[in-house]
Amino acid sequence: DVKVTQSSRYLVKRTGEKVFLECVQDMDHENMFWYRQDPGLGLRLIYFSYDVKMKEKGDIPEGYSVSREKKERFSLILESASTNQTSMYLCASRTPGQYRGYTFGSGTRLTVV
């Protein structure tokens, strides 16, 4: 089974801090994704990466950046955390090909105070 591991289950950070959320997958997947999940809004795509060092903006990239230096690791960076970035963050990976879904990590619940 594919495993997608997010380094932290819960994080509490202060406004203005730089925050790193880490995600590692163990199945050599090319594509990786960061979503945030908020009640009533579903899952919204922040950034995704086709392959190492390649990244593209999703639907809500403002206030975020990403890094993918190795195939198995995809990091989400909050440059200056704000309270409206309090959310559940979900990482996912996928191998290209038709009719294949994502495998998600268990999520990181981030609270910015």
| Residues near another protein, by CB under 8 A | 4, 31, 33, 40-45, 48, 50, 56, 58-59, 90, 92, 94, 96-107
Cα 89 to chain centroid, rounded:
6
* Nearest CB to another protein, comparing residues 27 and 41: 41
Are 75 and 108 in contact by the 8 Å Cβ rule? The answer is no
* Nearest CB to another protein, comparing residues 17 and 28: 28
* Nearest CB to another protein, comparing residues 14 and 71: 71
Q: Tokens 């910015």: give the residue.
A: 112
Query: What does the block give as tokens for 66?
Result: 């990403």
CB of 47 to another protein, least distance (A): 11
Query: What does the block give as tokens for 56?
Result: 């593209």
